[in-house]
Amino acid sequence: MIDFELPPALKMVKEFTHGVGRDTFRPIARKYDEEEHTTAEELAFLGPIMTQRSADRRKKQRDQEKAKDEPKKPKAETEDRIGATMTACVGSEEFCWGDSGLLLAIPGSGLGNAAIAAVATPEQDERFGGKFAAMAITEPGSGSDSGSISTTAVLDGDEWVINGEKIFVTDGKQCEVVVVWATVDRSAGKAGIKSFVVEKDRPGVTVTKLEHKLGIRASDTASIVFEDVRIPKDNILGSPEVKTKTEGFKGVMKTFDNTRPMVAAMALGVSRAALEFTKEKLEEEGFLFRYGLTKHQLSAIEREVLMMEAELEAMRLLIWRAAWMGDNGRANALEASMSKAKAGRMGSEISRRCVALLGPMGYSREWLVEKWARDCKINDIYEGTQQVQQLVVARNLLGYSRAELK
């Protein structure tokens, strides 16, 4: 029998993060939407909590990796575990119900932290695991096609020398370290792309621009130039060896299998906030929402709201499935892209429809609904656009290669 209830440990995560979203994020959401690029000092207390939670998750992951090599009884078909990805998805939904920009502004919550947690050695984990890490992938000439990265990393003795420019780096201003995607061998194509941890205070690292954005304005988005930046040889994440045509690149891309469900959960949280608020305001005006009737017995507004609630549930189930598969060692590239494609598209559509249903007040800055509509759109763009996710899904379902379907 399938159980859709959260276990006690995740219920605690849900309650804690919802409380933070309600009591800390919501009251200051408008302030930091208007004061773009200003550091939210109110979030300082969350830094140590997030760092400790991340450390606990990494320790659990290391213990599980060690346990793989030990003799054990056959695993029961129903046995599973709740890991870092599911925990992050549940928490992200509730945080973003409060405010998605402020979630991204929490020290230690950067995308780079997910990459470090996924592939860092124990020594690297000790050095970088507790730092606020951004991820630098996109370049002026390389957008959705991550394989066309031109930033270079050249080994010079015991140091890597990094040169290149990265744009749209989430938390590029606030972060302490940056996980930089760079090529160690351009002739090798994707196989030559590796990721490196670069400390922000190293000579040659320059934040050149802060973007003015439509949404998630509490979180800065920066352009960063790396000019002859020297980092220790062991700052590379994973092996420096250039292997088969795509093997190395697949290892780098695997980070997305864990983070795309989290981005989907962010879209779920924002759109859920918009729909719950909209329903509340409509009920105040006398609208009734009746369940258990056929759609022909419902009013137009009832049908629309109930269908949007159903879409939220579909989004959540896709997210949880992708997260559960990743936490239990199952290949989830298809499911991760399905969850992000669904949540990115429907989250944006639901939040926009909420603005429309509330009329002029939905468009007014007096309420947060217009902000949620602006914030939600980014989840359909970053970490792979809607079109990229559909390509990934189609290739996996139809068995086509990248060359055959693009």
Contact 28, 42 (CB under 8 A): yes
The closest alpha carbon to 346, from 255, 254, 271, 244, belongs to 271
| 179, pLDDT greater than 60 | yes
Residue 61 has pLDDT above 90, yes or no: no
pLDDT bin (cut points 50, 70, 90) of residue 77 is very low
For position 81, what pLDDT does the model report? 76
Question: Which pLDDT value is given to residue 125?
Answer: 86
Q: What is the mean pLDDT of residues 67-94?
A: 72
Tell me whether residue 159 is exposed, middle or buried, using C-beta atoms within 10 angstroms of its C-beta: 0 to 12, 13 to 18, 19 or more. Answer: middle
- What's the mean pLDDT in 299-326? 96
* Residue 311 designated active-site: no
Look up the pTM and report it: 0.90
96-111 pLDDT, tens digit each: 999 999 999 998 888 8
Token pair of 97 as six digits: 């119900």
Kindly report which listed range (57-61, 212-216, 322-326, 396-400) carries the lowest average pLDDT score.
57-61
Catalytic residue among 227, 247, 383, 404: 383
Which pLDDT belongs to residue 78? 47
Local confidence band at 47 (pLDDT 50, 70, 90 cut-offs) = confident
Please report the domains of the chain, with CATH numbers, ordered by start residue.
8-69+79-124 (1.10.540), 132-237 (2.40.110.10), 247-398 (1.20.140.10)
Quick: pLDDT tens for 320-369.
999 999 988 899 999 999 999 999 999 999 999 999 999 999 999 999 99
Quick one: pLDDT at residue 71? 56
pLDDT at 4: 76
Residues of the chain above pLDDT 70, percent: 88
Q: State yes or no: pLDDT of 229 exceeds 60.
A: yes
Inter-residue contact 91 to 20 (CB < 8 Å)? no
What is the amino acid identity at position 202?
R
114-168 tens-digit pLDDT: 888 878 888 898 899 889 999 999 999 887 776 789 999 999 999 999 999 999 9
**73, pLDDT greater than 80:** no
Task: Categorize the per-residue pLDDT at 174 as very low, low, confident or very high, splitting at 50, 70 and 90.
Answer: very high
- Does position 223 have pLDDT exceeding 80, yes or no? yes
SS (H, E, C) the chain: CCCCCCCHHHHHHHHHHHHHHHHHHHHHHHHHHHCCCCCCHHHCCHHHHHHHHHHHHHHHHHHHHHHCCCCCCCCCCCCCCCCHHHHHHHHHHHHHHHCHHHHHCCCCCCHHHHHHHHHCCHHHHHHHCCCCEEEECCECCECCCHHHCCCEEEEECCEEEEEEEEEEEECCCCCCEEEEEEECCHHHHHHHEEEEEEECCCCCEEEEEECCCCCCCCCCEEEEEEEEEEEEHHHEECCCCCCCCCHHHHHHHHHHHHHHHHHHHHHHHHHHHHHHHHHHHHHHCCCCCCCCCCHHHCCHHHHHHHHHHHHHHHHHHHHHHHHHHHHCCCCCHHHHHHHHHHHHHHHHHHHHHHHHHCHHHHHCCCCCHHHHHHHHHHHHCCCCCHHHHHHHHHHHHHCCCCCCCC
Task: For residue 248, name the pLDDT band (cuts at 50, 70, 90).
Answer: low
Mean pLDDT, rounded, for 19-39: 96
Sequence-distant (6+) residues with CB within 8 A of 230 are 156, 159, 160, 161, 162, 202, 203, 204
Backbone angles phi, psi at 208, to 5 degrees: -100, -20
